């Protein structure tokens, strides 16, 4: 799947990765050939992997503070869901955050949660085949996977 095809599918979310929009995307994707579902999963994993960087992951949650008023850090899961929300916002937003970290910051809030986007390839594959998805992607999208994005974590 090309990046253009991936972003065209992401555009069907209308900028939001909620349960309904992600189920709609999974149904659309399930009508395509299996290589397209796999290609979508690969592009999605790569898009999340590229966002797995310290400059984004160390931003605080925009609308939360600790009891003492200090910024509340993103957890590993929160950061993953935030990255999903950025991808769901579309190609222009996704590309823009690499040039301006301040464009990423608003997505690091309790208002945005892109977790549902994580399940789209699994759901699409199961709808298409009747079987569970059991395939790793080339890129791991879990937080801290991109070693180049977290230079201080390198061995």
Q: What is the pLDDT of residues 5-57, one digit of tens each?
A: 999 999 999 999 999 999 999 999 999 999 999 999 999 999 999 999 999 99
Residue 70 counted as domain residue? yes
Pairing of strands 71-73, 60-65: antiparallel
Q: Tell me whether residue 151 is in a domain.
A: no
Cα 80 to Cα 115: distance, rounded to the nearest angstrom: 8
What kind and span of H or E run contains 65? strand 60-65
Q: Which helix (H) or strand (E) holds 27?
A: helix 19-30
Domain assignment present for residue 47? The answer is: yes
Residue 124 domain-assigned (yes or no): yes
With respect to residue 96, please indicate whether it lies within any of the assigned structural domains: yes
Q: What are phi and psi of 131, to 5 degrees?
A: -115, 155
Per residue in 79-102, pLDDT (tens digit) is: 999 999 999 999 999 999 999 999
CA distance 52 to 145: 7
Specify the pLDDT at position 155: 57
Confidence of residue 113 (pLDDT cuts 50, 70, 90): confident
Exposure b/e, 50-80, CB count within 10 A at least 16 = b: bbbbeebbebbbbeeeeeeeeebebeeebbb
The span from the CA of 91 to the CA of 6, in Å, is: 9
pTM here? 0.92
34 within a domain of the structure (yes/no): yes
- Contact status, residue 29 vs residue 36, Cβ threshold 8 Å: yes
Q: What is the total count of domains within the chain?
A: 1
Domain coverage including residue 44: 3-145
Residue 129 lies in a domain: yes
Confirm whether 150 is domain-assigned: no
């Amino acid at each position: 799947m090309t990046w253009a095809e991936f972003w065209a599918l992401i555009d069907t979310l209308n900028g939001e990765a909620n349960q309904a929009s992600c189920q709609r995307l999974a149904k659309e994707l399930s009508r395509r050939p299996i290589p397209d579902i796999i290609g979508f999963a690969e592009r999605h994993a790569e898009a999340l992997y590229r966002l797995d960087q310290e400059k984004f992951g160390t931003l605080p949650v925009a609308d939360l503070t600790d009891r003492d008023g200090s910024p509340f850090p993103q957890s590993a899961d929160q950061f993953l869901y935030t990255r999903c929300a950025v991808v769901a916002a579309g190609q222009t937003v996704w590309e823009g955050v690499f040039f301006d970290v301040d464009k990423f910051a608003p997505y690091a809030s309790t208002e945005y949660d892109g977790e549902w986007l994580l399940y789209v390839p699994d759901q699409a594959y199961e709808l298409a085949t009747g079987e569970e998805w059991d395939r790793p992607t080339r890129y791991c999208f879990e937080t801290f996977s991109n070693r180049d994005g977290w230079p201080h974590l390198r061995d």
